[in-house]
Amino acid sequence: MSLLQVRNLMVEFPHRRGTLRALDDISFEIAPGEILGVVGESGAGKSLTGAAIIGLLEPPGRVAAGQILLEGQRIDNLGHEAMRHIRGRKIGAIFQDPLTSLNPLYTIGRQLTETIRTHLPVSEQEARRRAIGLLQDTGIPGAAQRIDHYPHQFSGGMRQRVVIALALAAEPKLIVADEPTTALDVSIQAQIITLLKRICKERGAAVMLITHDMGVIAETCDRVAVMYAGRIAEIGPVQEVIHQPAHPYTSGLMAAIPDMTMDRERLNQIDGAMPRLNAIPPGCAYNPRCPRVFDRCLVERPDLLNAGATRAACWLHDAHSLSSTAGIAA
């Protein structure tokens, strides 16, 4: 059974000139112990999807349609107080910048023990013992002494480990990790990736890993959802998506990754840019940038279609379209 189910999620931002649809018909599931990667360019809707699941949409943003279910319970329609009890206890969050996630005025120990005691019925001594254990589990040396240090006394990599410890403090079933390795150097990135994989294996927690780095996706995830302009362009097992991409956008992302075994003067790139929310083209949103665009792409928006081991929102995988692709543009 899936731990998290997102069904036809739609997020809108009303403003004086109309309504902007930032997420449109997003659907996916995550099983216990699974890591789902969510990847795409800036503005694709990755972080917004995570914020909607956690219940941290910035006003005037709102869930306009769809459902979010955690362990079979719908959570997108819960009130602020009910959702506050779910955050931390059932859903943990790891954000991109650990400095903004930690209170500089409180010691690491105080922040961890308060989080533990807010969600679990334990004493102060037991909470401190658990906090030290979490710091040890996340690879912080001398945890028994460092628990009384302040955030500024830790390096960037160590602060990120503390944020992971905070996310795990109340033993949540789901962790939403939003760009957890972006601000870290390559060696620390590898350590954080290893840590996330170990957490899934040992604790059976599910992880939604939001990133723009396909290398991190390849090393960490079981499945990957590729997002574009507020929709899922392709979703499937990570090795299938990486080695046999079914959507032209996914192919472009993979081609843009530098190949260290080849000598080339220029890197491949996807021409153009992500459309603004008030200027999403009709048909497939990717059609102005797509090298394989044809007539149907300009007028009709595709849903996710079966494409071998993956599913892709592309008319190239529709039998009717394949018989009429003579109009493919150069």
Q: What is the pLDDT of residues 6-21, one digit of tens each?
A: 999 999 999 888 899 9
| Structural domain range at position 37 | 4-90+172-279
Q: How far apart are CA 130 and CA 170, in angstroms?
A: 10
Instruction: For 81-140, write each residue's pLDDT tens digit.
Output: 899 889 989 999 998 777 888 999 999 999 999 999 999 999 999 999 999 999 998 889
* Residue 219 domain-assigned (yes or no): yes
Q: Which residue has the tokens 């993979």?
A: 254
* Residue 299 domain-assigned (yes or no): no
Q: What are phi and psi for residue 196, nearest 5 degrees?
A: -60, -40
- Angle (CA) 300-306-309 rounded to 5° is 145
* Residue 115 domain-assigned (yes or no): no
Note if the pTM is more than 0.85.
Answer: yes
* Residue 146 domain-assigned (yes or no): no
User: What is the b/e burial string over 259-272, where b = at least 16 CB atoms within 10 angstroms of the residue's CB?
Assistant: eeeeeeeeeeebee
Q: What are phi and psi for residue 231, nearest 5 degrees?
A: -135, 160
- Classified as helix, coil or strand, 239 is helix
Domain of residue 19, CATH code: 3.40.50.300
Residue 67 makes CB contacts below 8 A (sequence gap 6+) with: 5, 6, 7, 8, 9, 74, 76
Q: How far apart are CA 81 and CA 87, in angstroms?
A: 10
Instruction: Report pLDDT for 329.
Output: 43
Instruction: Report pLDDT for 183.
Output: 65
Instruction: Report pLDDT for 268.
Output: 81
Q: How far apart are CA 280 and CA 285, in angstroms?
A: 6
* Residue 36 domain-assigned (yes or no): yes
Residue 100 makes CB contacts below 8 A (sequence gap 6+) with: none
Q: What's the total number of domains in the chain?
A: 1
* Residue 114 domain-assigned (yes or no): no
* Residue 151 domain-assigned (yes or no): no
Whether residue 26 contacts residue 6, with contact meaning beta carbons closer than 8 Å, is answered with yes
Q: How far apart are CA 233 and CA 251, in angstroms?
A: 11
Q: How far apart are CA 231 and CA 11, in angstroms?
A: 11
Q: How far apart are CA 144 and CA 211, in angstroms?
A: 32
Positions in the chain short of pLDDT 50: 326-330
- Classified as helix, coil or strand, 279 is helix
* Residue 140 domain-assigned (yes or no): no
% of the chain beyond a pLDDT of 90: 67
Instruction: Report pLDDT for 203.
Output: 82
